[in-house]
Amino acid sequence: MPPSRLTQIFHLNARLRSWAANSLLVLLMLAGFGLRLIDLTDQPLDFHPARQLRAAIIARGMYAQMLSAQPDAPHWLASAETAGLSPLNYDPLQAQAAVEMWQGMAIYEPQILERLAALTYWLLGAELLWVARIYSALFWVLGGLALFMLARRATSYAGGALALTFYLFVPLGVIASRAFQPDPLMVALVLWAAYAAYRWSETRTWRWALLTGLFSGLAVLVKAPAFFQIGWLLIFTVLSGWGIKQAVRQPQVWAAGVLAALIPAAYYLLLKEDRSDGYLEFWSASFSAMLLEPGFYIRWLVFVQQNVVEISLFFAGLAGSLLFERRGKAIALGLWIGYACIGLTLPYLITTHDYYSLPLLPAIAFSLAPLAPPLIQVVHRQAKIWQAAFYAVLVLAVLYPAWIARSALVGQDYRQEALGWQALAQELPTDGRIIAITHDYGHRLRYYGWVSVSLWPTTADQALTGEQFDPAEFDRLFTGRTAGYDYFLITLPKELAAQPQLAEMLNNHYPLLADQGGYLLYDLTP
């Protein structure tokens, strides 16, 4: 065969392989995105509803403010429109209530996703909660693109595909990455920062240095715990690329570091007023004694196994992180050590709130990549039937977690519950102030029912804050906490049973106005 013909065949095969590889990448990303759109219009009560409803209240207030600025505002959709309720006519008083609820919220981090959702409400002419889900899912999937490119450069195409597949279909990732909270965007930006850092270490160009600083700063801006993964990523990238002595003389290193620090500092330090002062003091300092308990680390691993990822994959990722070359190892160490620092800084949250372990997923995903090439080599040395069996098992290994995630998404319909909270709100008196033991810090009542209540601490709240109600002082404490309130609402009857002194006080001294099974309402005015 003439050489020209051989060259043509070679180029054709190369193009076919490239097309197949790109098609697989697109298919994986579309499948991952589509999986997250299942049961899209259900209410945000499936995953940490307190966190999601808080964001929904903020976005609703922003949307109401936009409508209030329009003299010809067409309408105001009910907060639970997706639950099947009819639109309400635009009411300036209702809009003002929405704005006040938003502005009464403590500020944890920049309200980026909330503002984006509100702008989309305004463009669509309706408050549609599912738009936040689409944004979060899109952010997560785009982060997967950075992960794939990073893992492919650090290992191979097979390594990139393995990392991306785990990242897109691990059940916690599917469920959490469509939540109305900043974590999916934070994780995505950490991955883009990691990819930029890897490319910077390869090229040592100003372009990638500045992109590293930009993505790093944005990640920390979106949510402060990203600081730990970003910080270690930058440290290990610089050390692996230049070393300490050479790095301090590199303008690119200084530019990337300053840019990474300046973006979040402008918000968290220069605009510190009204930025949830005392966060670290409460969540870190007050729980630091946990770090001295050996049981804490066991509980952490058990929590990871039960709520985040199979522990076998956790340790497989740890092992894989040791197989990278120098540049890849710097990225892997940054992701792993950064996650460990999150847990050591926030020990209570890392063992109670699974979304604080979302940064662990890209660490495992990337660290699985080096395992793919040797595994593929072993498989390709086997007989065709065993190769076919391997790839069949591989497909099942993708479909199984995807099915688990899908089952979790459709396992419960929360639309009726949203209607139930609206119905409850309509039954509550409007002639006085309410103190309550209720779900999700009162956010369900606030969002679905437009009713703001003050909170009586639950037993969990008391344990968390260290507040103990002295039985001898209970009468005085009750009188002080309920002063100025007209009604006591309980939507958590089991919680009332767990506080017998409170139950005795209410049942013996105050009329029970309503006992509807789902809630109790006492009159405090006598």
- 211 and 62 within one domain: yes
- 325 and 236 within one domain: yes
CA pair distance 491, 274, nearest whole angstrom:
31
Coil, strand or helix: which one is 436? Answer: strand
CA pair distance 523, 506, nearest whole angstrom:
9
Cβ atoms within 10 Å of 72's Cβ, excluding its own = 5
382, part of any domain: no
Q: How confident is the model at residue 8 (pLDDT cuts 50, 70, 90)?
A: low
pLDDT of residue 19: 78
pLDDT of residue 400: 93
Closest CA to 228 of 288, 291, 284: 284
CA pair distance 390, 382, nearest whole angstrom:
10
Cβ–Cβ < 8 Å for 364, 309: yes
Cβ–Cβ < 8 Å for 293, 347: no
- 171 and 22 within one domain: yes
As a whole number of Å, the end-to-end CA separation of the chain is: 102
- Select the highest-mean-pLDDT range: 20-24, 156-160, 391-395: 156-160
Q: What is the pLDDT of residues 260-288, one digit of tens each?
A: 999 999 888 777 555 545 677 788 888 99
- 68 and 205 within one domain: yes
Whether 169 has a pLDDT exceeding 70, the answer reads yes
pLDDT of residue 522: 97
Q: What is the pLDDT of residues 425-484, one digit of tens each?
A: 999 999 999 999 999 999 999 999 999 999 999 999 888 887 777 788 899 999 999 999
Q: Tell which of 375, 396, 423 closes a domain.
A: 375
- 338 and 440 within one domain: no
Q: How confident is the model at residue 312 (pLDDT cuts 50, 70, 90)?
A: very high
* Residue 173 domain boundaries: 1-375
CA pair distance 454, 130, nearest whole angstrom:
29
Residues 164, 328, 217, CA angle at the centre, nearest 5°?
80
Total structural domains within the chain: 2
- 428 and 342 within one domain: no
Q: What is the pLDDT of residues 366-384, one digit of tens each?
A: 999 999 989 888 888 888 8
- 365 and 254 within one domain: yes
- 507 and 365 within one domain: no
Whole-angstrom CA distances from 361 to 215, 307, 314 are 19, 12, 9
Whether 81 has a pLDDT exceeding 70, the answer reads no
383, part of any domain: no
Q: Which residue has the tokens 């050390």?
A: 239
- 177 and 314 within one domain: yes
- Write out the two tokens for 335: 């992701």
Closest CA to 24 of 416, 476, 394, 348: 394
- 158 and 45 within one domain: yes
- 350 and 225 within one domain: yes
